[in-house]
A and B are shown apart, each in its own frame.
Chain A
Amino acid sequence: MKFRDYYETLGVARSATEAEIKAAYRKLARKYHPDVNKEAGAEEKFKEIGEAYAVLKDTEKRAAYDRFGANWKNGQDFTPPPNWNEGFEYADDGYGGAHPGYGSGFEGDQSEFFESLFGRGKHRQGGRGGHTHQGMNFKGQDHHAKIMIDLADAYNGAKRTIALHMPTLDASGHVTTQERKLDVSIPKGIKAGQNLRLSGQGGPGVGEGPTGDLYLEIEFHPNPIYRVDGKDVLIDIPLAPWEAALGTTVNVPTPAGSTLELKIPAGTIAGRKMRLKGKGIPSAEPGDLYVVPTIALPPADTDTHKEAYQNFEKAFDFNPRTHLKG
């Protein structure tokens, strides 16, 4: 197990006051909140910050944590000494940082380090439901999960078996994670950021209440060839200088798996987009596929190639910098 330096995570001194810790947490939470920060790793960072704050904001937990001393470093191998937390009592086992529903499933967000010290936090029960009310009926919880699909799945539709990790409370009130497999049909035309509602696949109802729903938020795997903008898709097509100057015909692969022949007119300029209408993500009003030409220069790596460039130079009276002074 790796040690976690919660002070370092929040960027505060070990002597920091409660107010300083709160301010540091707030600042970092705003910066790395996964709804705000779309960079890779932001979500992980947000969870770490939340975990650090859950410990340091709590006087009892912080005091217990401080007993390990200041010599431990982030990532060092660590085993808590026996009875390390003797005499400490934690008023709550709640974990105030991140919220369920992020990430690949519903698993608890705490690190192994946190869990071994403070136990697994109670899975927060959002909204209504969850608790048993005698003689009352509630719809089960709606669950949320993100799933990653390929852009091609949005073009063609797909069948996918997905695995969800769902925390469930056992009879003694402990959280255990159960894996659940679902065979889901991904409809053609779905776009990144959209939600697929699977009725009756959420949490169990209370009393006579119906089962909740499962919402799957769709994300596309990053694609080395295509960029996606809503229902439009962009592809860079590199051209040799002579192809751009004289015109040519190129084969454009579509995400659906087919190939389109595209005429490149003479005098094509890098970056000037060409639109293939209706070849974006399909729907009643399909998106467009944009071809973005780029110019690729062949390397001057042999005498013949160098000579070709020199001939080029002789043939043109060309200065690309006439608009710059000097």
Chain B
Amino acid sequence: MNQTNITWIEGSVVENEVHMSIVELSHASRTPEEMIMSWVTEGVLSPTGSSPQDWRFGGDSLRRAKTAAHLTHDLELNVPGVALALDLLDEIAELRARLQRGE
């Protein structure tokens, strides 16, 4: 029998196990740190920690930052526009889920 050993790459589930610094989130979402700061100010992202150096972004921060970056780039939305779009998208997702649950 010809058997090859495969090394399976283990990853970390970002939403459960990873708490990113602003540097990491900036890199992962390809967004300048200043833009991330303005998203925090607008309430798009809610990190723990008191100052940007201490900020830790958990949960669905990466997904939100990626969506915010796409909307900023593709639709040329400004920061309040991105914040509004994300709130509305969350609401639509919640309504769709309720529809699916048959409520």
The answer to whether A binds B is yes
Residues of A within 8 A of B (CB): 26, 29-30, 33-36, 38, 50, 97-99, 101, 126-128, 139, 141-142, 144, 159, 161, 182-185, 187, 189-191, 193-199, 201, 212-213, 215-217, 227, 229-230, 232, 234, 271, 273, 283, 290, 292
Give the chain B neighbours of A196 by CB distance below 8 A.
11-14
Asked whether, in the complex, the Cβ of B100 is within 8 Å of the Cβ of A229, the reply is yes
16 CB < 8 A contacts A-B: A29-B74, A36-B89, A38-B96, A98-B74, A99-B70, A99-B74, A127-B26, A159-B6, A183-B9, A187-B11, A190-B13, A195-B13, A196-B13, A197-B12, A197-B14, A234-B101
B15 at the interface (CB under 8 A from A): yes
Give the chain B neighbours of A144 by CB distance below 8 A.
66
Asked whether, in the complex, the Cβ of A201 is within 8 Å of the Cβ of B9, the reply is yes
Chain B interfacial residues counted at CB < 8 A: 35
How many A-B pairs fall under 8 Å by CB?
103
Bound CA–CA A198/B8 (angstroms): 11
Least CB separation from B8: chain A residue = A185
Asked whether, in the complex, the Cβ of A142 is within 8 Å of the Cβ of B27, the reply is yes
Given A29-B75, A33-B71, A99-B70, the answer on whether A185 and B11 have CB atoms closer than 8 Å is yes
Instruction: Kindly list 15 other residue pairs between chains A and B, CB separation below 8 angstroms, not including A35-B89, A127-B27, A185-B8.
Output: A142-B27, A182-B9, A183-B7, A187-B13, A193-B63, A195-B15, A195-B62, A195-B63, A196-B11, A196-B13, A197-B11, A198-B9, A215-B14, A273-B101, A283-B16
Scan residues 1-49 of chain B and give those whose CB is less than 8 A from a CB of chain A: 6-16, 18, 26-28, 30-32
Asked whether, in the complex, the Cβ of B27 is within 8 Å of the Cβ of A35, the reply is no
Scan residues 76-103 of chain B and give those whose CB is less than 8 A from a CB of chain A: 85, 89, 96-97, 100-102
Least CB separation from B31: chain A residue = A127
Most A CB atoms within 10 A — which of B6, B32, B102? Answer: B102
Asked whether, in the complex, the Cβ of B101 is within 8 Å of the Cβ of A183, the reply is no
Least CB separation from A232: chain B residue = B101
Give the chain B neighbours of A290 by CB distance below 8 A.
101
Distance in Å from the Cβ of A97 to the closest Cβ of chain B? 8
